[in-house]
Amino acid sequence: MFLIDDILLAPLNGIIWLGKKINEVAEREFSDEGLIKERLMEIQLKFELDQISEKEYNKQEAELLARLDAIRKAKEEVDSAS
């Protein structure tokens, strides 16, 4: 009986596993200082090459700097709690 249950629930378990992996990757990308710094350099280069406007550059830069600040504060809280 358990084998039949496993077979019937396999697609659902696969979807759950995939959702967890996507969430892990998203959290890692959101909380990785290196990726945010790379993104900052990328938008700076685009601005210097006139691929984006100054307004768009300032908007994206502010968002990325806010994320970077939030990551650093969260890391400080974790370090001070230990």
Q: How many residues are given for the chain? A: 82
pLDDT at 64: 94
pTM higher than 0.95: no
Select from 21, 20, 72, 66 the least CA-distant residue to 39: 66
Q: Which residue has the higher pLDDT, 12 or 50?
A: 50
Rounded Cα gap, residues 40 and 74, in angstroms: 20
| Residue 48 pLDDT | 96
Structure-token pair, residue 27: 């959290």
- For the chain, domain boundaries: 1-30, 33-82
pLDDT digits (tens, 9 = 90+) for 35-57: 899 999 999 999 999 999 999 99
